[in-house]
Amino acid sequence: MNILQNPANRTWIILLIATAITWWLGESGTAGSAGSNAVFLMLGLALIKGRLVIYDFMELRHAPTLWKILLLGWLSFVLGMVVLAYWIGMK
C-alpha cells in the first residue's frame, strides 16, 4: 500500500497497536495478575515505542551515532532502573 511507504505512517500504526496492548493489560486486570511478565511486556512495548519515536519521529535514525546512543541510552537506562526498582519491590 502506498500510504505505508512513509515510515512515519507505519510508526504511527505500530504506536497505536502498542498503546492498545498496554491499555488492555490494565483494563483486563492482566497487569495485576500476570505479575512480572506483564511488567516486562509493558517495558518492552515502551522500549519499542520510544525507539520508534526517536528514530522515525525525531528523525535520529540517520543521525550521528553519538546522538542515537544518548537518546536510546536515556530510554534504556530509565526502563532498566524501573526493572531494578520493581525487582526490589517484589522481594
Partner 1 sequence: MTSVKTDLPTPDLAKTEAHAPGALLTPRLPGDLAIWFFILAELLVFAVFFIAYAFARARHVAQFNESQLTLDLNAGALNTVLLITGSWFVVLAVQAAKRDATRIATRWLAAGMACGFGFLIVKIIEYSAKFGAGISLSTNTFYMFYISLTFFHMMHVILGMVILAVLLVKTRQGAYGSHDHHALESGAAYWHMVDLVWIVLFPLVYVMR
Name, in order, each residue with C-beta under 8 angstroms of 27's C-beta and a sequence gap of 6 or more: none
Interface positions, 6-65, toward partner 1 (CB under 8 A)? 6, 8-9, 11-12, 15-16, 19-20, 22-23, 25-27, 31-32, 38-39, 42-43, 45-46, 49-50, 53-54, 56-60, 62-65
Counting Cα atoms < 13 Å in the Cβ hemisphere of 19 gives 8
Site residues (CB under 8 A) for partner 1?
6, 8-9, 11-12, 15-16, 19-20, 22-23, 25-27, 31-32, 38-39, 42-43, 45-46, 49-50, 53-54, 56-60, 62-65, 67, 70-71, 74-75, 77-79, 81-82, 84-86, 88-89
